[in-house]
């Protein structure tokens, strides 16, 4: 069955269930791509209650490497080296065996700890936060199997904005991997990241671009046809174009250093780095050292930090989908 036939069939099924604002044909997607605005919350929280309910149902599945989060497990093969190698390229002080020793990392939307644990094993002191309490219970239980991780990682059931006051300029690094496409207010989220990050600290984000291709592969194929992730995991309207993310970062005192495309191969279950950012992509940004004093919205000056090549430390060359 051709792609157009798949989309037409999917469209008919959706119309039978309910009306939808998502574009469901290539023509409609093309005309709506830049006119559909990403919804922002009018509340004082970046947490979307609908998103919380989705992940609440899967809280016990985080550590099933063949289950719903299989693609996130395999993403560690490229996102962990990306974070590690970028940080090491910015510092001359590191310890063999524990290269991230002495670095305080905040893992926002940590889920069951899939990214917190490998970062902890590299020597970092990790704080993982997630608004879903059952996710935190799963993460706590899993880290308890390793006495070293039990000392290096602490988890807290909390949203990002809830820890701002107690954690102003506390962390050297913030990681928000596969999170920003689920938040209710992206601008507030980025602002809070800036507030809890130390001057010249690093922010790492992985997310999904808002393109025709990401709708077809990320929603229709990945969720409806292949079941790579559970149906309803993503909403296309909340996907974030890299240009929008860069604009928000720069307006909140960040200098964007790297934007790299990511690709998932569902046949091999592997990720690789690619030039195109039309599906998944990763961003590394650095908070300006002058932002804390000035608090202006001017574009921060470029800091003298070496840009990381995203291909460093990655294993193999394989393709993408979306998580």
Q: Is 308 annotated as a binding residue?
A: no
Buried b (16+ CB within 10 A) or exposed e, 218-245: bbbbbbeeeebbbeebbbbbbbbbbeeb
| Alpha-carbon dihedral angle through residues 139, 144, 146, 148, given to the nearest 10 degrees | 90
Q: How many helices (H) and strands (E) does the chain have?
A: 11, 8
Q: Is 121 annotated as a binding residue?
A: no
Q: Is 95 annotated as a binding residue?
A: no
Strands 153-157 and 104-108, sheet pairing: unpaired
Q: Is 178 annotated as a binding residue?
A: yes
8 Å CB contact between 320 and 279: yes
CB atoms within 10 A of CB 16: 7
Cα distance between residue 245 and residue 180, in whole Å: 9
Q: Pull the structure tokens for residue 8.
A: 């037409």
Q: Is 272 annotated as a binding residue?
A: no
φ, ψ of residue 202 in degrees (nearest 5): -105, 140
Strands 270-274 and 197-208, sheet pairing: unpaired
Q: Pull the structure tokens for residue 236.
A: 């296309």
Per the DSSP assignment, residues forming a β-bridge with 270 are 265
Identify the sign of the CA torsion 260, 238, 253, 155. Answer: negative
- Binding site residues for Mg(2+), as ranges? 178, 181-182
- Binding site residues, as ranges? 79, 109, 130, 177-178, 181-182
- Binding site residues for S-adenosyl-L-methionine, as ranges? 79, 109, 130, 177
């Amino acid at each position: 069955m051709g792609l157009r036939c798949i989309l037409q069939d999917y469209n008919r099924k959706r119309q039978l269930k309910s009306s939808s604002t998502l574009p469901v044909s290539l023509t409609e997607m093309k005309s709506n791509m830049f006119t559909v605005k990403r919804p922002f919350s009018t509340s004082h929280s970046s947490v979307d209650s609908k998103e919380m309910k989705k992940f609440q149902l899967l809280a016990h599945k985080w550590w099933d490497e063949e289950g719903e989060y299989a693609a996130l497990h395999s993403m560690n093969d490229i996102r962990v080296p990306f974070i590690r190698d970028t940080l090491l390229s910015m510092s001359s002080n590191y310890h063999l065996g524990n290269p991230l020793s002495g670095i305080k990392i905040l893992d926002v939307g940590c889920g069951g700890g899939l990214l917190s644990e490998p970062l902890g094993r590299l020597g970092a002191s990790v704080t993982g936060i997630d608004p879903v309490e059952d996710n935190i219970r799963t993460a706590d239980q899993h880290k308890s199997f390793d006495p070293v991780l039990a000392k290096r990682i602490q988890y807290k059931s909390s949203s990002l904005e809830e820890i701002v006051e107690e954690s102003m300029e506390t962390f050297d690094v913030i990681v928000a991997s596969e999170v920003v496409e689920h938040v209710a207010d992206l601008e507030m989220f980025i602002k809070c990241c800036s507030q809890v990050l130390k001057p010249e600290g690093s922010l790492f984000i992985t997310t999904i671009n808002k393109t025709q291709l990401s709708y077809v592969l990320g929603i229709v194929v990945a969720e409806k046809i292949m079941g790579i992730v559970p149906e309803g995991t993503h909403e296309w309207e909340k996907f974030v174009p890299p240009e929008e993310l860069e604009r928000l970062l720069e307006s909140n005192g960040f200098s964007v250093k790297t934007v790299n495309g990511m690709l998932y191969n569902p046949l091999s279950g592997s990720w690789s780095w690619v030039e195109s950012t039309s599906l998944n992509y990763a961003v590394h940004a650095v908070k300006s050292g002058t932002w804390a004093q000035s608090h202006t919205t001017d574009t921060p000056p470029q800091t003298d930090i070496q840009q990381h090549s995203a291909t460093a430390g990655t294993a193999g060359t394989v393709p993408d989908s979306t998580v």
